[in-house]
Amino acid sequence: MTPADEGLKAHLSGEFSNGPISAPPEAGFPFGGLLAALCAGAMKQGLEIKAPLRSLSVQYLAAARFEETIRFRPRLLRGGRNVAYAAVEADQGDRLTHHGTATFGLDSDGAALTPLTAPPPLDRLKDGPGIEGPMAPRFSQHVDYRFDGGPNILGGNQGRAVVERVWMRTRDGAPLDDLRLAYLLDALYPPAWTAFQAPPAMTSVDLRYDFLADPTPDSAPDGWAFFEYRLLDHGLGWSVDEATAWGVDGRPLALARQRRKLLPQRP
Q: Tens of pLDDT along 73-113?
A: 999 999 988 999 999 999 998 999 999 999 999 998 888 88
- Is residue 158 in some structural domain? yes
- Is residue 114 in some structural domain? no
- Is residue 121 in some structural domain? no
Query: Structural domain tally of the chain?
Result: 1
170-187 confidence digits (pLDDT tens): 999 999 999 999 999 999
pTM higher than the cut 0.85: yes
215-261 confidence digits (pLDDT tens): 999 999 999 999 999 999 999 999 999 999 999 999 999 999 999 99
- Is residue 74 in some structural domain? yes
Contacts of 200 (CB under 8 A, 6+ apart): 192, 193, 234, 239, 262, 263, 265
- Whole domain around residue 73: which residue ranges? 2-106+127-262
Exposure b/e, 203-212, CB count within 10 A at least 16 = b: ebbbbbbbbe
- Is residue 118 in some structural domain? no
Identify the CATH number of the domain in which residue 35 sits: 2.40.160.210
- Is residue 55 in some structural domain? yes
E strand map for the chain? 2-4, 7-11, 53-60, 69-79, 83-92, 95-105, 143-147, 163-170, 202-211, 225-235, 238-246, 252-262
- Is residue 180 in some structural domain? yes
Give the distance, in angstroms, between the CA of residue 12 and the centroid of all CA atoms in the same chain: 16
- Is residue 267 in some structural domain? no
Strand partners, 92: 95
